[in-house]
Amino acid sequence: MDPVYKKYIRFLWIGLVGIIALLGLFIFLINIGLFGALPSFQEIENPKSNLASEVISEDGITLGTYFFENRTNTDYKNLSPQVINALISTEDNRFYDHSGIDFKSILRAVVGLGSKGGASTISQQLAKNLLVKRSKFDNVFNKSIQKLKEWLVAIRLERNYTKKEILKLYLNTVDFGNNAFGIRMAAQTYFNTTPDQLNAQQAALLVGMVKGPSYYSPVRNPARALSRRNLVLKLMFDQGHLLEADYESAKLSPLGLHFKAQDHNEGLAAYFREFLRQQILEMIRTGVIPAKKDGTTYNIYRDGLKIYTTINSTMQRYAEEAEIEHMSALQKLYDAQSLNHEAWKKDPDLINQSMRRTSRYHELQEMGLSEDSILKEFNTRVPMKVFSWSGEKEVMMSPLDSIKYYKKFLRSALLSVNPKNGHIKAWVGGINFRYFKYDEVKGGSTQVGSTFKPFLYATALENGYSPCYKVENEPVTVSSPGAPDWTPSNDDGKYGGSYTLREALARSINVISAYLIKQVGPQKVVEMASRLGISSEIKPYPSIALGTMPVSLYDMLGAYSVFANKGIYTEPNYIIRIEDKNGNILFTENPKVKQAISEDLAYAMVFMLKGNTDPSLHGTGSRLRYKYHFTEEIGGKTGTTSSYSDGWYIGITPDLVSGVWTGGEDRYEHFHSLAMGEGATTALPSWALYMQKVYANASLSISKEPFEKPKGDSQFELDCSKYILPNSGSPSDSITKPQPDKRLDF
């Protein structure tokens, strides 16, 4: 052999061995962490990623998520086979034949200079997407080190995970655009479905986006996305994952999007989810949710908490639908009172006060603008989107005019609670979360009007009065030391005759409430309200008999639940448990429970409240019978505040206590007449529409049976026909004074 030729052969072998040795040296140095530590097995097993926290209803529906990246994981068993077939066909058709690095594909890519496809396996892509930090120096050397790192991590993945686990991990980490990270969020965002329900063309579209979620976005670039989807379908067909007929049908189908980007303003229970978010953050801050093992606190946006709530998704939907149906109709009636929307003209400072409460005003102040400059900004017309009951509208409007525009909208809230365990089933904090952020369920406290009267009547019954005790329907003056005399009037201006306490509560007669507060005293009523769970500070003034104090809908529902739950107060609650991403329980709800009143008194109050829906007693809630045709046993109470600014209805059934408040943002927004502004008109219809749907759905298992009577003898005789005057043998209809024990003889 020619010596020169031998020399070249020797140099070639030396070079080859040198390259292999150098490659081995680099691999060794990477392994010992010289170019940055590789992830440990524990880090591979529990990769750090931004995992959204889920809010889950009692019936297993995800109500929403809190996220930095909108990512939630799914198991392999919940993946459609079409997703797996599409992924392997497109990204790594030799996935089951290699151990993380596909040298055959690498050789093919080198020989074809990349024209015959890339050589990166799914395992390598997973390593790149999830586990390896990229260098900020984008040169050949760093790229080479990066690629070697990916190889090493891919090999570790293959050693420690099954092929199914790698596919699951990969699909949980992919960015599908539009803030949808992972296959579960992608299926929900683009098709409003779950990963196990994805068909071939849907799976092909999503997998096709992996190469470039923005470039192949079906929302921004539908034609490009369609072409890419059909290419994936062709690859699936070529590799035997689709029959020819199925392929031909699939490639001709439209994109079929049901796109809905994940938005905290949208979806079921938006008000509840925002309230819950604030509560979880506070629980983390105060240590109610304990810190992690490493001492750091949980992050609601990154740590993938699972928050299991008491909300029932079906009942929540019914509640929201009821509010939309009623409030959109009520607003039309309210708009007919055009003069009502001009109250600010009589007092312009009302609008100025609202302006000064806005975030825009404070931002302009922080920028150093003068008051005149700020007013100029608020009076400058700009394009904006505004709420309307017929849909979102694009308008030219000044910020000040938008304040006036939104003032006219009536607000409303609905809360529904299981009285037996305090579980909140539906929470509607307002009419539209995107445009009206303020939550009227627990954040707001408004005058409760006559819905407070049952607490007064419960106090009277506990102090010896009978539901059948009769009182004259005549004005009563109540005197208090250091305060002017108080003489309330009836809303309808009608007087005369006498009524049992049950009849008086059913008709909501003000002067009889005044009589009772005079007899039992305001302080005892305040104490009763506190025992029933009312947390608002209530001054012991006689006027509390008519509900002049502000109380939240949340507290009112807790109090009324005592009557339906045999005298037991169970604090309304909304969290069942909170788990970390691995299923470890971090928090379990333990609501306050106490015997607030006797079971006997609670049932007597149920008897009293049922009169509200009795047409024969002219109860203020009797339209539930003659208009909405309820036949079930229902108790309740309407409430209407002064000038008809607030309307209430709280209704109780054995399994569900629900309440509705309706009113304006400010008290000067109100109806002009009792007929239009009373709670029976403004609030009760939402309750009725909600409960009609609830009762009609047998799967919800809401009982239609009567309230359960207490066992044993009762201290209250509820059959008023049995009451007679002392030394009289005939039924009395004219008893006007209590006996010494405040009860009647038999």
Residue 392 has pLDDT above 70, yes or no: yes
Interval 63-85: pLDDT, tens: 998 887 667 788 899 999 999 99
Cα–Cα distance measured from residue 316 to residue 414, given in angstroms and rounded to the nearest whole number: 10
Residue 181 has pLDDT above 70, yes or no: yes
- Residue recorded with tokens 């949208």: 266
Cα–Cα distance measured from residue 430 to residue 409, given in angstroms and rounded to the nearest whole number: 11
| Helix (H), strand (E) counts: the chain | 28, 20
pLDDT given for residue 727 in this prediction: 36
Which pLDDT band, with edges at 50, 70 and 90, does 28 fall under? low
Interval 541-578: pLDDT, tens: 999 999 999 999 999 999 999 999 999 999 999 999 99
Which pLDDT band, with edges at 50, 70 and 90, does 598 fall under? very high
Cα–Cα distance measured from residue 571 to residue 420, given in angstroms and rounded to the nearest whole number: 10
pLDDT given for residue 466 in this prediction: 93
pLDDT given for residue 48 in this prediction: 59
pLDDT given for residue 515 in this prediction: 96
What are the distances in angstroms from CA 609 to CA 458, 475, 564, 694, 707?
11, 24, 10, 21, 12
Interval 688-713: pLDDT, tens: 999 999 999 999 999 999 999 998 88
| Domain 71-261 superfamily per CATH | Biosynthetic peptidoglycan transglycosylase-like (1.10.3810.10)
| Percent of residues, the chain, with pLDDT higher than 90 | 55
pLDDT given for residue 743 in this prediction: 40
Residue 10 has pLDDT above 80, yes or no: no
DSSP class of residue 303 equals: B
Interval 409-457: pLDDT, tens: 999 999 999 999 999 999 999 999 999 989 999 977 789 999 999 999 9
- Identity of residue 746: F
Residue 731 has pLDDT above 50, yes or no: no
Instruction: Kindly report which listed range (370-379, 505-514, 548-557, 622-631) carries the lowest average pLDDT score.
Output: 370-379
Delimit the CATH 1.10.3810.10 region(s) of the chain: 71-261
- Identity of residue 651: G
Residue 342 has pLDDT above 80, yes or no: no
Which helix (H) or strand (E) element contains residue 484?
Answer: strand 483-486
Residue 406 has pLDDT above 70, yes or no: yes
Interval 95-135: pLDDT, tens: 888 866 766 655 555 554 444 555 678 888 887 765 545 44
For residue 310, give both structure tokens.
């008491």
Instruction: Kindly report which listed range (96-100, 306-310, 422-426, 459-463) carries the lowest average pLDDT score.
Output: 96-100
pLDDT given for residue 130 in this prediction: 57
